[in-house]
A = this chain, B = another copy of it.
Amino acid sequence: MSGRIDARLEALGITLPTPAAPVANYVPFVVTGALVLISGQGPIAPERRILGQLGAGLDIAAGRLAARLCFINLLAQLRAACGGDLDRVRRVVRLGGFIAATAAFTAHAEVMNGASDLAVEVFGEAGRHARTTVGVPSLPLDFAVEVEGMFEIA
């Protein structure tokens, strides 16, 4: 914990988890040029995982927290992609948010704000990103939310 962003995470009370190992023949991130592409992350924390479907038992607050956990897992992978130095991050370029939801659900954006708000809390202006948010009927392992990311690094 020494950089500017690490200090910001500490001030926010966020401890990044050990980046999850890939569960298959893919990797958590690939660096191409100045871009880092990070695999879709689920809402897993050491003490919990948020499962289920928005609009069918899971409320918006739980969904927001799920999106926030996804972004924390993106950050853990991003730190590894930066060789441990999150100060190398120049921009959160794009987040893709997939919300497990019923056909009647309409508050996907509010759920996804759990990730977007944290991006700006951590990176400030550089955390403001392009975003696509959609509903899906189901996600791997019954995750409530999955978020993928594209970042620009120095």
Which A residues are closer than 8 A to B by beta carbons? 23-30, 32-35, 37-40, 53, 55-56, 91, 93-96, 98, 100-109, 112-113, 116-117, 119-120, 127-142, 146, 148, 150, 152
Contact = CB atoms under 8 A, between A and B. Distances in A.
A94 to B, nearest CB: 5
B33 A34 contact: yes
Given A25-B128, A109-B24, A130-B28, A138 B139 contact: no
B33 A132 contact: no
Contacts of A140: 106-109, 133-134
Given A25-B117, A37-B150, A103-B53, A135 B139 contact: yes
17 contacts: A25-B117, A25-B119, A25-B128, A30-B94, A32-B93, A32-B152, A37-B94, A38-B130, A98-B132, A102-B103, A104-B138, A106-B142, A107-B140, A109-B140, A132-B148, A135-B139, A136-B136
A113 B25 CA distance: 7
Nearest to A110: B24
A30 B130 contact: yes
Identical copies of this chain, number = 3
A141 B93 CA distance: 24
B32 A91 contact: yes
Contact of A30 (B55, B109, B113, B129): B129
